[in-house]
Amino acid sequence: MNIQTPDWVKQAVFYQIFPDRFAKSEKSRSEFLMMPNWEEWDTPPTVQGYKGGDLWAVIEKLDYIQDLGINAIYFTPIFQSACNHRYHTHDYYQVDPILGGNKALKALLDAAHERHIKIVLDGVFNHASRGFFFFNDILENGPYSPWLNWFKIEGWPLSPYDGSQPANYVGWAGNRALPAFNHDNPEVREYIMRIAEYWLEFGIDGWRLDVPFEIKTPGFWQEFRQRVKAVNPEAYIVGEVWIDSRPWLDGTQFDGVMNYLFTAPTIAFTAGERVRMDLVEGLSYYPYPALSAAEYAVKINELLNLYPWEIQLTQLNLLDSHDTARLLSVANGDKASVELATLLLLTFPGAPSIYYGDEVGLAGELDPDSRRGFPFQKAWDEHTLNYHKQLIALRHQYRALKIGGYQILFAEGLVYGFARIFEDEEVIVVVNSATQSVNITMQAGSLKSRPEKVLYGHAELSWEGENLTLNLPERSGCILAVA
């Protein structure tokens, strides 16, 4: 099969924004609420409270985002909802008025596209909410509702709020706040397809699909791809699947998935025994137990052999998200772990994604703490921000780091080295995750060149024939290229 994925994604560095927590402007407040009762921005977030972030403020922050080196943004849901994360959709055709409404999204798309920044939205198509018009009609009219077959009604009466009574309808993960669509109903299927088409025509550049594995109707995602690509052949379709995703990455459905199969071993190698088990146990990824370099190499090799190369280049790689604790907290505050993992993220095949605030040292435990307000500048970790900028710039500069092949060169103890190769451009990356400096010699006879310019990090090196001898400080990494 001739698999085709969007070329722009292969050049992209994504920034994930949780809209309620990234930035807020005066504009939305004046248009929507005169005296909104928002939570204080820099206080710990609560499950149900709002901080009041909006899309107008994202426009104001585009200079910052562009300066960081970002050229694609993935937003968690922005459609009208009665919850701060907006996975409980009320209206798929209306951007939440708290965020600035459709007008704010249009202004954001125009401003972002002027800067060559792509915008991907979150598509929550498995379930809606109790406030969704079609489901609300069933709550009002019971078995007389014309939309009865849009959901999975199991009996009467429905109990959307009283947990002591059976809900009598299917909710996602048993949650009565999230009534699941009946995707076997052709009307539901067509409704979702038209939503996808509508926003692509409006100007968005792709969809991130929430829990797409829950939709089991045969042919659903194949039709979704056909309809999306008919509107925009370069639209990005990325699914939230945490495990082996081969059933969805056959070229007929998604262009990629959120690549937690990269996340987990990368944290296990760089953070090792520092990983706080209370923040990772019970989730669908396993950044534990600690991995040696050789064990990490096995995991990475398996991952790179799992999918076609065209798909590998459009995977959405990440270290954390709104669904996990932030890496700084997972690593128990160890900043070196974050830097090493970020180095591996920005040099791995696929599109790297940075969760807002990670680049300035934002910590956060499990939801809702992982969704803190973006910190005020006085609280930024400038070193963390600087190395993010440096690594993103290097990725943009070297085609090998974006689309080059991946070749493991060294994996002993806690030292891992590899090359990224595109045509005559060869870049070497080496990470020392140990707590002491190391002196290693790696055989690099497969390379045509002798990279010896240190682009990132601190390293002493020398070449003797095909052997590279390298001295690396403890808990550090480097990037080498031809001078």
Per-position DSSP letters for 85-111, written without gaps between them: T--SEEEEEEE-GGGTHHHHHHHHHHH
C-alpha to C-alpha distance for 391 and 267, rounded to whole angstroms: 18
Amino acid at 137: D
Q: Which of 54, 96, 210, 255 is catalytic?
A: 210
103: left (phi over 0), alpha (psi -120 to 50) or beta: alpha
Annotated active-site residue 240? The verdict is: yes
Helices 335-345 + 382-397 axis angle, to 10: 10
| CB neighbour burial string for 102-140, b if at least 16 within 10 angstroms, e if fewer | bebbebbbeebeeeebbbbbbbbbbbbbbbbebbbbbbe
Q: Which of 240, 339, 358, 426 is catalytic?
A: 240
Helices 186-202 + 101-114 axis angle, to 10: 50
Taking CA atoms, 313 is separated from 58, 223, 272, 356, 443, in Å, by 28, 23, 27, 22, 27
Q: Are strands 89-95 and 236-239 parallel, antiparallel or unpaired?
A: unpaired
Q: Do the beta carbons of residue 28 and residue 54 sit within 8 Å?
A: yes
C-alpha to C-alpha distance for 15 and 388, rounded to whole angstroms: 12
Annotated active-site residue 210? The verdict is: yes
Query: What SS3 state is found at 419?
Result: strand
Per-position DSSP letters for 138-198, written without gaps between them: HHHHGGG-TTGGGB-B-SSS--SS-TTS---B-BGGG-TTSBBB-TTSHHHHHHHHHHHHH
Could you tell me which of 295, 384, 302, 393 has the C-alpha nearest to residue 352? 393
Could you tell me which of 397, 407, 402, 410 has the C-alpha nearest to residue 461? 410
C-alpha to C-alpha distance for 195 and 93, rounded to whole angstroms: 7
Q: Are strands 453-456 and 415-422 parallel, antiparallel or unpaired?
A: unpaired
C-alpha to C-alpha distance for 439 and 415, rounded to whole angstroms: 10
Q: Do the beta carbons of residue 412 and residue 443 sit within 8 Å?
A: no
C-alpha to C-alpha distance for 150 and 141, rounded to whole angstroms: 14
For residue 328, what are its two tokens?
């700084």
**Residues labelled as active-site residues:** 210, 240
